[in-house]
Chains A and B, each alone.
Chain A
Amino acid sequence: MLETAKEVPKETIYSVIEEIINEKSESSEHDGETHEEKPKNVRESKLKTPAADKKDDASSVRSKKGDSGSDSSGSDSEEEDAKPMEYLETTNNTIFLPVKTPEAKLLYGTKHFLNVYRLFFTLYERFLRAREIANTFETNPKTEQLSKEVYS
């Protein structure tokens, strides 16, 4: 009787796969040939011509510059056309955050930290000054006379 894939339950399929894996592991333990084959393949991959090594070095340098693995095959002109500060011209309309316009500066690192610190410090200083001014009253002889007349 031939059974289709739908009729066979998953548990039996998993059990069959486990048996196959166990058989393979047992055969590899008994036979030493399989262990010797793997290092041979590794050696073959390591043994390369110097020209091939140079090609690999060039591709690795490209990948380090910022290109992904798929883009490494692209020409150099595309790399030059890409703008380095392109993220500054983008607009972001995410909620829960203030709207980012292309004219606005993006805070990255410590470049604009001092500017922002200075602005917040001036605000703090101005509010302190407002508190001081609110506590100091002008010396006006007319108002002093009025207060004396009221309390006398």
Chain B
Amino acid sequence: MTYYISFILNISKEKSKLADERYDTFKWILVHLIRANIESIKYEDLLRSIFGKEAFALVYVDKIVNSVFDESC
């Protein structure tokens, strides 16, 4: 029983760590894209490798950021 509980706890800890790492990597990739260190095609590939098939929602974030800067500044 104790082994089973420790197994579940380890999985949950690993999942939370992985989720934080994925979110941090997404933010770093976005920053590098805005600084023009990465191309947009490579950005899409990296997002797909991190988030899988649900990465389509985050592909156009860089364009939203650019539109915010263009219209407000």
A16 on the B face (CB < 8 A): no
Min CB distance, B58 to chain A, in Å?
A: 5
Q: With contacts A123-B65, A126-B61, A129-B57 known, is A107 near B72, CB below 8 A?
A: yes
- The residue from A119, A134, A135, A137 contacting B26, defined by CB atoms under 8 A apart: A134
Q: Are B51 and A134 in contact (CB under 8 A)?
A: yes
- A interface residues, how many (CB within 8 angstroms): 27
Min CB distance, A2 to chain B, in Å?
A: 69
Q: With contacts A98-B69, A134-B22 known, is A123 near B61, CB below 8 A?
A: yes
A15 on the B face (CB < 8 A): no
- B interface residues, how many (CB within 8 angstroms): 27
- The residue from B10, B19, B54, B71 contacting A116, defined by CB atoms under 8 A apart: B71
List B8-27 residues whose CB lies under 8 Å from chain A. Answer: 10-11, 15, 18-20, 22-23, 26
Q: Are A104 and B70 in contact (CB under 8 A)?
A: yes
- Label chain A's interface by main secondary structure: helix
Q: Select from chain B the residue with minimum beta-carbon distance to A105.
A: B71
List A123-145 residues whose CB lies under 8 Å from chain B. Answer: 123, 126-127, 129-131, 133-138
Query: Within 8 Å CB of A115, what residues of B?
Result: 71
Q: Are A116 and B26 in contact (CB under 8 A)?
A: no
Measuring CB to CB, which residues of chain B are less than 8 angstroms from any residue of chain A?
Answer: 7, 10-11, 15, 18-20, 22-23, 26, 51-55, 57-58, 61, 64-65, 67-73
Measuring CB to CB, which residues of chain A are less than 8 angstroms from any residue of chain B?
Answer: 98-100, 103-105, 107, 112, 115-116, 119-120, 122-123, 126-127, 129-131, 133-138, 147, 151
